A and B are shown apart, each in its own frame.
Chain A
C-alpha cells in the first residue's frame, strides 16, 4: 500500500513562528500536493509539485512556501504563522490517473 506520512498529527505554534510541515511518500510518485481543510470551505489547494525542485501555486498560496529537494519529500512552510492559518493540513501524492493518496493530516493550531 502507498503510504503518505505526515510528520505530526497535532501541532501548536505561536504567532510569528516559522512552521515546517513534512510529508513523505514511499511510492516514487511524481506529484505531491498540500491542501488545507476548514469547516464549510472544503479542501483548498495551497501548493503542488510535479517533480523534484518544481513547485506550482495553488488557489491559496499566500503566507506559505514549499520545498521539494527529494522526490519522496514535500515540505510546507509557514513563514510567519498567523492565527488564520489554524487548520487541518493534508498532504497527498499521486503517480498517475488513479487518484490521490492522502496522509493522515496535521491539525495545526496557531495561538
Chain B
C-alpha cells in the first residue's frame, strides 16, 4: 500500500478556474505536510506547508488539512497557464527513525488551458 497517494491526472483546468488537488496518507502519526510544484525538467519547489488542521492560504494557493480523515488538499485559485506543472504531496511522520524524511506522492499533473 502506498503511503502517500495522489491522482496522477492530468487535471485539466480552464484558465481562471480553481484547481483542486487531493492527497491521502496512511500514517496516522504524520505531522508535517507539504506541496511541491515541479515544472517539466526542473526540480521540485516548495510552495505550501501545513501543520495543523484547517486551511492555510498563501496568495492564490490554499492548503487544507484534515488529520482525522488523513487527507491534505491544495486549491489553486484563478489558475494561470504558468500553474501547469506536476504537484507533489509530501508527508513527514516525525517518528524517531523517520525524522526529517519525507514520503512523497507520485504527483498530480495539472494542465491549465487558455
Contacts and interface: CB of A to CB of B under 8 A. Distances in A.
B44 A50 contact: no
Interface stretch (A12-20, A40-48, A68-76, A79-87): A40-48
A35 to B, nearest CB: 8
Contacts of B105: 42
A48 B94 contact: no
Interface stretch (B15-23, B62-70, B72-80, B96-104): B96-104
Interface in B18-71: 31-32, 34, 41-46, 49, 51
Nearest to B100: A31
A98 B49 contact: yes
Contacts of A48: 101
A30 B105 CA distance: 24
Interface in B87-111: 88, 90, 92, 94, 99-102, 104-107
Contacts of B106: 41-42
Nearest to A99: B34
Nearest to A42: B106
Nearest to A43: B104
Given A48-B101, A97-B92, A104 B46 contact: no
Contacts of B46: 99-101
Interface of A: 30-31, 33, 41-43, 45, 48, 50, 90, 94, 96-105, 107
30 contacts: A31-B101, A41-B106, A42-B88, A42-B106, A43-B88, A43-B104, A48-B101, A50-B99, A90-B43, A94-B100, A96-B100, A97-B32, A97-B51, A97-B92, A98-B32, A98-B49, A99-B32, A99-B46, A99-B90, A99-B92, A99-B102, A100-B34, A100-B44, A100-B46, A100-B102, A101-B46, A102-B45, A103-B43, A104-B43, A105-B43
